Structure 1
Amino acid sequence: MQVITKGTVKITKAVISDTWRQRAECTRLIVRDRECRGLALIVNPTAMSWVYSYKPRGHDDQGKRFSTRSVTIGNPETHSVDEARAEASAIKGRVKVGGDPCAERKAEIKSKAVARGRTASRLLEEYAVALPKRPKLRGSGRLSDRHIASELAFAEAAIESCGLGERPITEIDPSDIRAIVAASSGHPSVSRHWFGAVSRFFDWLLDEGLVPVNPCSLLPKARRPRAVQPRQTYQTPSQLAALWRAADILDETRRDLFRLLIAIPARREEVAKLDWSQIDLKQAVWTMSHKRTKNGDAHRIFLPDLALAILTHRHLEAGQPKSGLVFLGPRAGQPIKTFTKLKEKISAAAPEVKGWTYHDFRRGFVTALGESGVSETLADAILNHRQSATRGGVLGVYQRAFRWPEQVDAMKRWGSLLEEKIRLNTHDEGKDGQEEGSVYYAA
C-alpha cells in the first residue's frame, strides 16, 4: 500500500471532507494536525481514523530511546476534531508521567481475551480435575468419590440455573450469587447446597489466583441461605409395622427393598445399591467398603432375622449369585431410583402413618433402641455416624471402639421388637391365621 503524507495542517471539518474525497485504492493518506503534535488523521480506501503517536519515556536495555508507538483514538464519526485533540492531550499527559498507553491497551485486550476463555463452565471442568486432589476441609484424607460427584453437581446446577456458564468468571459478582439463591429459594436444602458448592468453587479459584475475591463472601449473612432445621419426625415400631404391611401392594423387588429399609437402619442409597458381594448370609453380616458409605468410612451391619429372611429368599430366587445388585430394577436393570412414587403408593395404603420420610426410619430405630436401654453411642456406631462428629471433646477424639458384640445384641433386640409389632399389626388386620414366617412375605 502506498503511503502519502499530506503535511501538517490545522485539521477542520473541511480538511476531513476534502481528504476523504481524495482517497484511492491501495493508498493511505496521512494528515498531521498542527494544533496537537502527534495527532494525525489516517485515511484508508474504506475508512478514516484518529491516531496519536508518541515515544515512551526512558530507554531500552541498550540505552536507546523507545521506538515510536501509536494509539488509535477513534474516527471522525465517534470523535470530533476537538474531542480527538482532547483525547490525544490526555494520552500525552499519561506518557509524561511514565505511562505507555499502547502497551496498556494491548495488555487490556489480552486480559479480556483471557477472561473470555476463563468462563465458569470451563473452569468447572478444571475444578473437577483438581477437586479429588484437595484435602478435606475437616479431618484428614481426601474427599470421597460420592462427595466429589455431589459437589460438582450442585455447583454446575447453581451456575446453570442463572445462565452463568459462558460468563467470564471474573464478571460474576454478588448480584449473580443473589440470583442463584433466589432461583432455589423454594427449596431451602437445595439453596444451601448450591450456595455452599459455589462458594467452595470460588475459594478454589481464589487459591489459584483466577479471581480477586470470592463473591459469596461479599453477600451479607442475612441474604445467605439459612441452615435447614433438622427433622424431628420419626416412626414408632407400630407405625413401621403398618408401613411394612402396606408394602404388600408393591411388586416383589420394591417390596423387599422397602422392607429392608425398615429392618436395617441403612441409608436409602446404600440399600438401593446393595450388592451380593457385600452380604455374608451365613454370618448374617452386611459389609460396606469406604467407597459405599456417605462418610467414607467402612461399615458393617448385623442382619436381624427380618432382614436375613428377605435376603435369603432373594438369594435363592436369583440363583445364589456371588455378586450383582440385590434389588435390580425390573425394567431398566439398574438400581431403583423411583423412591418418590414408591412413597406415594405406600402412603396411600397406610394413611394412618402421616408425614413420614425414609430417613425417619433411622430416627425411629435410634429412638426405639434408646427407649429399650441401648446407649446413644452404640446406636450412633450402628448408624455409621462419625464418632468425632457425635461425641464432644477428648471422647470424640480418642474413643474408636466399634463394640461389635453389643451391636449384634442391639440389632437382635431391634429385630425382635419390630417383628413383634408386625405380627401384632397382622393380627389386628385379621390375618393371624397365616403360617409361621409370613411376617416376611405377607401377601
Structure 2
Amino acid sequence: MKPKSNLPESGRATLKDTVVPGLELRGNQKGATWTLRHRVGGKRIRDTIGHWPGLAAPAAREAARVKLSSVAVTRAAGGDVLAQRAERYRLKNARSFGDALTVYVAHRSELRTIGHADKLLRDVFRNLLTEKLPAVSKQDILACVDARRKTAPAVADLSIRYVRPFFKWAYDRGEIAADLLTLRVGQTAKRDRFLTREELGKVWLALEHHADHVAAQAVKMMIATAQRRDEVAGMRWSEIEGDLWTIPGERTKTGKDYLVPLNTEAQFVLDHARKRDCGSDLVFVGATGKTPFSGWSRFKTKLDNEAGVSGWTFHDFRRTFATLSADSGIDPIIADRCLNHVGASTLNDVALRYQHSTMLDQKRDAFERWATIVRTCVDAVEGSNIVKLAGVQ
C-alpha cells in the first residue's frame, strides 16, 4: 500500500489496506486519517487510529491490531466496549470545568451573587479549571475544599454552597455523574468575636502610627462606618456628597443602594485621604493607581503586632459596633440599619415587608454617638499609658 502515490492532490479518497482488514486511509496528499472499521456486538463502528504522514502504514497496521486485540480482551472479560467507547467520546468532547462555569454564570446572570460565586469558585478550584468536567471527581472537589479549609473555613463552606447549584445545572444537562450532587456543606462554627473597648482603642492607636498609609485610613473607615471591608475598599469620591456616602447596589450585600452618614471620625479619615491626591476616583486606591487597595493580610499582621491584639478579623468591627453601641444605649433596630441588615434580626416578618424607612436621621445620630464611643476607647488606652512621675504635680 503506497498512500503517497495513490492519494489525490486535493479532495478526499479512501484507500483500503490489504494487510489488516478494515484499516483505511482517508484524505489526500496534504494529510489523511487512518481509521479502523470493525463490528462489536453486531454494530459496525469506526475508530480513529492516527494521522498520515506522521503515522506510516506499518505503524498504523500495528496500532489497528492492538485495537482489535484490546476489544477482544474486553469482550471476553464481559466489558461493554460500546459503552466505554461512548464514554471516551463524551469525555473528549466535553467542556472543561472552567468553560462550563463560564456558560453557567452567563445562564444564571440574574442571580445577585453570581459574580462573587464565579470569582470564589475559580479561586478555590483553580487547579481543576482546565480539567474536563466529566472527569472531575468528588474526591478532586473535596481535596480543593479541604486545602482551603485549613486557612479559610468559611470560604471552604461557601465554595460548596456555590458549587452545588453549578453541579445540579451540569447534571441536568448530562455533563457529570450524580455523585457530585451529594456534596455537603461543613459545620464551620459561626464567629462571635468582637473587640473589647480596650482592644478597639489599641487597634485605633496602632492605626494612627500610620495615619498617612492608605491601608490605615481604610481600616479606620471600616471602624468609623461599620461597613464591610470590600464596600469600604471600593469607596469612591463620586459616591460622597456632604456627610453622606452612597454605596451602590452592586457593592452591597442587599443589592440596593445604601446611604451611610459619615460621622466625625469618618470625615477626619477623608481629610487625610484627600492629601494623597492620587488622581483616582477611588478613595483607597492601590499601588497601581487604578484598583482598590488589596494588601490586607500583610497590613493586618503588622497591625496585630503593633496593637498587641490578635484573633480578630476586619469583619469583627461590625460585631464590635453592634455590641458596644447596644451597651451604650443605641437602639438595636437603628444599629441593624446602620449595618445595612435591613432590620433582619430585630423586625418581624410583617414589619420587614412594610417598614422601608431609611431612618437617615436616626442613623446619623447613632453613627455620631459611635464616633464618641471610639474616641472614648482610644482616650482610655492613651490615659492608661501615661506614667505619673513622682514629685510632679
In the alignment, the residues of structure 2 paired with residue 285 and residue 151 of structure 1 have an alpha-carbon distance, to the nearest angstrom, of 30
Deviations 1:334-373 (A, max 9, x none): 321111121122222221x332221121111111111122
Deviations 1:173-230 (A, max 9, x none): 43444434444342422321222222121122234x23365433335xxxx3413212
Quote the residue 1:408 is aligned against.
364
Q: Answer yes or no: is 1:265 the counterpart of 2:226.
A: yes
Q: Is the 8 A contact 1:261 1:271 kept in 2?
A: yes
Quote the residue 2:100 is aligned against.
123
Deviation, structure 1 residue 304: 1.3
Deviations 1:139-160 (A, max 9, x none): xxx42xxx33321123233444
Q: Can you give the 5+ residue segments of structure 1 that lack an aligned partner in the other structure?
A: 2-25, 31-40, 57-68, 91-100, 134-141, 433-443
> Residues 262 and 76 from structure 1, CA distance in 2 versus in 1: closer, same or farther, beyond 3 angstroms?
closer
Deviation, structure 1 residue 421: 2.9
Q: Answer yes or no: is 1:373 the counterpart of 2:352.
A: no
Quote the residue 1:195 is aligned against.
160
In the alignment, the residues of structure 1 paired with residue 267 and residue 238 of structure 2 have an alpha-carbon distance, to the nearest angstrom, of 15
What SS does structure 2 have at the residue aligned with 1:42? coil
> Residues 206 and 348 from structure 1, CA distance in 2 versus in 1: closer, same or farther, beyond 3 angstroms?
same
In the alignment, the residues of structure 2 paired with residue 431 and residue 279 of structure 1 have an alpha-carbon distance, to the nearest angstrom, of 42
> Residues 269 and 367 from structure 1, CA distance in 2 versus in 1: closer, same or farther, beyond 3 angstroms?
same
Matches within 5 A, 1:106-117: 112-117=88-93
Q: Is the 8 A contact 2:167 2:176 kept in 1?
A: no
Q: Give the superposed CA RMSD.
A: 4.1
In the alignment, the residues of structure 1 paired with residue 317 and residue 66 of structure 2 have an alpha-carbon distance, to the nearest angstrom, of 74
Quote the residue 2:251 is aligned against.
292
In the alignment, the residues of structure 2 paired with residue 357 and residue 275 of structure 1 have an alpha-carbon distance, to the nearest angstrom, of 23
Q: Is the 8 A contact 1:235 1:364 kept in 2?
A: yes
Quote the residue 2:21 is aligned against.
42
Q: Is the 8 A contact 1:260 1:307 kept in 2?
A: yes
What SS does structure 1 have at the residue aligned with 2:100? helix
> Residues 328 and 213 from structure 1, CA distance in 2 versus in 1: closer, same or farther, beyond 3 angstroms?
same
Quote the residue 1:174 is aligned against.
138
Deviation, structure 1 residue 276: 0.7
Give the TM-score normalised by structure 2. 0.73
Name the larger-Rg structure. 1
Q: Is the 8 A contact 2:224 2:266 kept in 1?
A: yes
Matches within 5 A, 1:12-411: 42=21, 70=44, 112-118=88-94, 119-133=96-110, 142-143=111-112, 147-161=113-127, 163=128, 165-167=130-132, 169-187=133-151, 188-207=153-172, 209-211=173-175, 214-219=178-183, 224-250=184-210, 252-254=212-214, 255-281=216-242, 284-315=243-274, 317=275, 324-329=281-286, 334-351=291-308, 353-388=309-344, 391-411=347-367
In the alignment, the residues of structure 2 paired with residue 382 and residue 44 of structure 1 have an alpha-carbon distance, to the nearest angstrom, of 76
> Residues 410 and 251 from structure 1, CA distance in 2 versus in 1: closer, same or farther, beyond 3 angstroms?
closer
What SS does structure 2 have at the residue aligned with 1:287? strand
In the alignment, the residues of structure 2 paired with residue 402 and residue 157 of structure 1 have an alpha-carbon distance, to the nearest angstrom, of 36
Give the TM-score normalised by structure 1. 0.65
Deviation, structure 1 residue 44: 7.0
In the alignment, the residues of structure 2 paired with residue 402 and residue 390 of structure 1 have an alpha-carbon distance, to the nearest angstrom, of 15
| Counterpart amino acid of residue 370 in structure 1 | A
What SS does structure 2 have at the residue aligned with 1:235? coil
In the alignment, the residues of structure 1 paired with residue 300 and residue 201 of structure 2 have an alpha-carbon distance, to the nearest angstrom, of 15
Identity, % of aligned positions: 24
What SS does structure 1 have at the residue aligned with 2:255? coil
In the alignment, the residues of structure 2 paired with residue 210 and residue 53 of structure 1 have an alpha-carbon distance, to the nearest angstrom, of 25
| Counterpart amino acid of residue 260 in structure 2 | I
What SS does structure 2 have at the residue aligned with 1:210? coil
In the alignment, the residues of structure 2 paired with residue 236 and residue 53 of structure 1 have an alpha-carbon distance, to the nearest angstrom, of 75
What SS does structure 2 have at the residue aligned with 1:356? coil
Deviation, structure 1 residue 265: 0.5
What SS does structure 2 have at the residue aligned with 1:377? helix
Deviation, structure 1 residue 299: 0.7
| Count of residue pairs the alignment pairs up | 346
Deviations 1:59-78 (A, max 9, x none): xxxxxxxxxx8458997777
Q: Can you give the 5+ residue segments of structure 2 that lack an aligned partner in the other structure?
A: 2-14, 26-33, 48-62, 389-393
| Counterpart amino acid of residue 266 in structure 1 | Q
In the alignment, the residues of structure 2 paired with residue 356 and residue 159 of structure 1 have an alpha-carbon distance, to the nearest angstrom, of 27
What SS does structure 1 have at the residue aligned with 2:259? strand
In the alignment, the residues of structure 1 paired with residue 272 and residue 350 of structure 2 have an alpha-carbon distance, to the nearest angstrom, of 45
> Residues 401 and 227 from structure 1, CA distance in 2 versus in 1: closer, same or farther, beyond 3 angstroms?
farther
